[in-house]
Amino acid sequence: MNDFRKVVNSQLFANFISLGLIQGINYLLPLITIPFLFNQLGVEKYGLVNFSFAFIQYFIMITDFGYGLSGTRYIAEYRENKIKINRFLNSATLSRGCMATLSFLVLIICMFSIPKFSEYKLFTCLFFGQVIGNVLNPSWFFQGMERMKFNTILHITTRLISILPLFIVIRNSNDYLYIPICYSSGSIVAGCLSLYLIKRQFGMSFFFTSFKEIWQATHDSGKYFLSRLSVSLFTNTNTFILGLVCGNTAVGFYSLADKIYVALNAIYGPINGTIFPYMTKNKNLALFKKFLMYGTVFNTILIICFYWIFPYLSSFIFSNFATESMTVLTILLFSNLVSLPATFLGYPFLAAWGHPDYCNFSLVASSIFHLVGIGILFICGLVSIYSVAIMVVLCELFLLLFRIYGVRKFKLWSL
């Protein structure tokens, strides 16, 4: 109990509040924007938006290159050494800038060689501003410094600039082009603000580091990139494959349910994001067990209540919440039940206790499992919004069992 009280009065709790505010914004705005866009654009154009958004996420994943994890860990370990973290910050940013340049070249090639993208070249290209904004915004720096209030400021800025103008400019399906413009503008503005805060509040300066330092930062982040790649393949490939195989309308039905599923999973993002750097440094097993136990119980109760209440809410929120989307959401709720313990046993536990390679490998293995499953569905001609949703559940369960095995293998639960 004393340990818990100390945490409540610590920077850990302040970081949790900051991340909680971020998640609050994440929930409040989608409650308005998702039904607004779905109702205004219609299912087909809504599907197109989500398909293009999923495609751009691959480039965001590439430019992240695992720095969200490796950068957080590096800054947390060397935060007292200003020179060291300043050089790492610049090396990582230059590394990500090079990747963004290569990503844009790949995007151009895709737009002029693949019919699915050539039809909406300008629309897809405008989304790339999010990649630029993401490179300019090293949120992992603030997380490693355990100063999440700055991430809160940046996140709120991004969301407000990206989303609020949509309610003014989107009137029907012909206005879909404004969506990437708003999203990219918000991301770039937040990125510039991030660089200002890093310089003003932390005394960091910006300069070119040596090729050796850039390569070292890239190399050290490589093992984390595999895990981030795995997450991206898991979260984005479903929408991407459905768009290629089944069309934008199918993506629209699936994405509507998937957005709600992701939002439910993200409730625990503040806890996960807060305890990772804390556990890396302090390794408080008793506190981690409390987070895991209380979180799992609360999550189960929440999902059960949501299952019974949402059908009544959807009739008020959406002009037409299709039966197809409701069926997909019902399937995905099973994944929500196991995703919390699977996530908590990952970086806040296995990685923080000295087993990041196993943690990364668990994500790689689960993504391979998922891709093999999707491949089988494709070969057999069984790709649909329902079969893909079932694969999400099976993949999440596989990840949980894989990590439970790791905890037992390394005997971490009884340290």
pLDDT digits (tens, 9 = 90+) for 264-289: 887 777 677 778 777 877 888 988 89
φ/ψ of residue 320, rounded to 5: -155, 85
- Distance CA(130)–CA(257), nearest Å, equals 24
Is the pLDDT at 297 greater than 90? The verdict is yes
> Which has more pLDDT, 8 or 159?
159
Mean pLDDT of the chain: 86
**Model pTM above 0.85:** no
Q: Look up residue 293 and give its DSSP letter.
A: H
Give pLDDT, residue 146: 77
CB-based contact 314:321 (threshold 8 Å): yes
Give pLDDT, residue 139: 85
Give pLDDT, residue 384: 95
Mean pLDDT of 324-336: 93
- pLDDT band per the 50, 70, 90 thresholds, residue 130: very high
- Distance CA(353)–CA(359), nearest Å, equals 10
Give pLDDT, residue 232: 67
Contact residues for 58 (Cβ-Cβ < 8 A; gap 6+):
232, 236
Q: Look up residue 172 and give its DSSP letter.
A: S
Is the pLDDT at 12 greater than 70? The verdict is no
CB-based contact 241:391 (threshold 8 Å): no
CB-based contact 94:215 (threshold 8 Å): no
> Which has more pLDDT, 318 or 195?
195
Which of 349, 356, 233 shows the shortest CA–CA distance to 291? 349
Is the pLDDT at 113 greater than 90? The verdict is no
Cα torsion angle, 267, 270, 276, 281, sign: negative
Give pLDDT, residue 18: 60
Give pLDDT, residue 323: 83
- pLDDT band per the 50, 70, 90 thresholds, residue 221: confident
pLDDT digits (tens, 9 = 90+) for 87-106: 999 999 999 999 999 999 99
CA distances from 403 to 150, 341, 361, 400 (A): 32, 9, 10, 5
Contact residues for 288 (Cβ-Cβ < 8 A; gap 6+):
275, 279, 344, 348, 349
Contact residues for 257 (Cβ-Cβ < 8 A; gap 6+):
325, 326, 328, 329, 332, 385, 389
CA distances from 147 to 12, 75, 276 (A): 9, 11, 14
- Distance CA(346)–CA(332), nearest Å, equals 21
- Distance CA(174)–CA(271), nearest Å, equals 40
- Distance CA(414)–CA(407), nearest Å, equals 10
